[in-house]
A and B are shown apart, each in its own frame.
Chain A
Amino acid sequence: MSKQIIVPFGPQHPVLPEPIHLDLVLEDEKVVDVIPSIGYIHRGFEKLVEKREFTEYVYVAERTCGICSFIHGATYCQGIEQIMKIEVPERAQYLRVIWSEFSRLHSHLLWLGLFADSFGFENLFMGAWKTRERVLDFMEETTGGRVIQGTSKIGGVRRDISSERLDRMVKDLDVLDREMKELTTIFLHDDSIRHRLRNVGTISREDAYHLGAVGPTARGSGVAVDLRKTGYGAYDRLNVPVVTDSCGDCLSRCTVRAKELFTSTDLIRQAARKIPDGPVDVKVTGAPDGEYFMRAEQPRGELVHYLKGNGTKFLVRSRIRTPTLTNIPPLIKMLAGCDLADVPVIVLSIDPCISCTER
Chain B
Amino acid sequence: MQILDLLLCLILFPLVAALFLLVVRRDSVRSLIVQFAAVAIGIVSLVLLILGFDKGTLIYSVASEPVSLVMFIIEIILAVFILYLGIKFRKSLTVLLILLQAGMLVWFETSLAGNLHIANNLFVDQFSIIMALIIGIIGSLICVYAVGYMETYHNRHKEVRDRRSIFFGILFIFLAAMFGLVFSNNLLWVFFFWEITTICSFLLIGYAETEEATNNSFLALSMNLLGGVAFMAAIIYLVLADSSGILLDLNHLLATGKAFALVPAVLICFAGITKAALMPFSSWLVGAMVAPTPVSALLHSSTMVKAGVYIIVRFAPVLSGTTEGLMIALVGGMTFALASFMAISQNNAKKVLAYSTIANLGLIVACAGVGTYNLMWVAILLIIFHAIAKSLLFLCVGTVENRIGSRNIEDMGGLIVRMPKIAIMMFIGMAGMFLAPFGMVISKWAAIEAFITAPFGLIFIAILAFGGSATVFFWSKWMGKIISVMRDQNVIEDTVRKEKWAVLYILTGLVVVVCLIFPLISSVLIEPFVLNIYGHTTRLAQANLTIMIMMLFLLMIMPFSMLLYGKRAQPPALPYMGGRPMNDSMHFAGSIGISRELVLSNYYLEKTFGEERLFMIGVSLCWGLLLIAGILLLGVIL
Name B601's contact: one of A4, A8, A35 (CB within 8 Å): A4
**Count the A-B residue pairs with Cβ separation under 8 angstroms: how many?**
61
A36 CA / B347 CA spacing, docked (Å):
30
Write the nearest CB–CB distance from B187 to chain A, whole angstroms.
46
For residue B572, CB closer than 8 A to chain A, the reply is: no
For residue A5, CB closer than 8 A to chain B, the reply is: yes
Contacts A4-B601, A29-B603 given; indicate if A12 touches B578 (C-beta within 8 A): yes
Give per-residue flags for B335-354: 1 if the beta carbon is below 8 A from chain A beta carbons, else 0: 00000000000010000000
Write the nearest CB–CB distance from A8 to chain B, whole angstroms.
5
For residue B596, CB closer than 8 A to chain A, the reply is: yes
Closest to A3 in B: B601
Name B591's contact: one of A2, A13, A23 (CB within 8 Å): A23
The reply to whether A22 and B603 form a contact with Cβ atoms under 8 Å apart is no
For residue A337, CB closer than 8 A to chain B, the reply is: no
For residue B162, CB closer than 8 A to chain A, the reply is: no
- Binding site of A, secondary structure by majority: helix, strand, loop or mixed? strand
Name A37's contact: one of B592, B597, B601 (CB within 8 Å): B592
Number of interface residues of B (CB under 8 A): 24
For residue B579, CB closer than 8 A to chain A, the reply is: yes
Give per-residue flags for A170-208: 1 if the beta carbon is below 8 A from chain B beta carbons, else 0: 000000000000000000000000000000000000000
Closest to A26 in B: B601
Number of interface residues of A (CB under 8 A): 22
The reply to whether A5 and B600 form a contact with Cβ atoms under 8 Å apart is yes
The interface centre, meaning the residue of A6, A13, A29 with most chain B CB atoms within 10 A of its CB, is: A6
Closest to B408 in A: A1
A191 CA / B408 CA spacing, docked (Å):
41
List of B residues within 8 angstroms of A10 by Cβ: 578-579
For residue A21, CB closer than 8 A to chain B, the reply is: yes
A199 CA / B632 CA spacing, docked (Å):
50
For residue B584, CB closer than 8 A to chain A, the reply is: no
A5 CA / B597 CA spacing, docked (Å):
10
A2 CA / B580 CA spacing, docked (Å):
23
Give per-residue flags for A6-41: 1 if the beta carbon is below 8 A from chain B beta carbons, else 0: 101111110000010111000111000001110000
List of B residues within 8 angstroms of A37 by Cβ: 590-592
The interface centre, meaning the residue of A5, A8, A23, A35 with most chain B CB atoms within 10 A of its CB, is: A8
The reply to whether A21 and B599 form a contact with Cβ atoms under 8 Å apart is no
For residue B577, CB closer than 8 A to chain A, the reply is: yes
A28 CA / B347 CA spacing, docked (Å):
12
The reply to whether B606 and A4 form a contact with Cβ atoms under 8 Å apart is no
Name B590's contact: one of A8, A11, A29 (CB within 8 Å): A8
Write the nearest CB–CB distance from B485 to chain A, whole angstroms.
17
Closest to B606 in A: A28
List of B residues within 8 angstroms of A2 by Cβ: 410, 599, 601
The reply to whether B580 and A21 form a contact with Cβ atoms under 8 Å apart is yes
Residues of B within 8 A of A (CB): 347, 408, 410, 577-580, 588, 590-592, 594, 596-607
In the complex, 19 of the A-B residue pairs with CB atoms within 8 angstroms, ordered by the A residue number, are: A2-B599, A4-B599, A5-B599, A6-B598, A8-B580, A10-B578, A11-B578, A11-B579, A11-B580, A12-B578, A12-B579, A13-B578, A13-B579, A19-B579, A23-B590, A35-B591, A35-B592, A37-B590, A37-B591
In the A-B complex, the 4 residue pairs with the smallest Cβ-Cβ separation, listed nearest first, are A12-B579, A37-B591, A35-B591, A23-B590
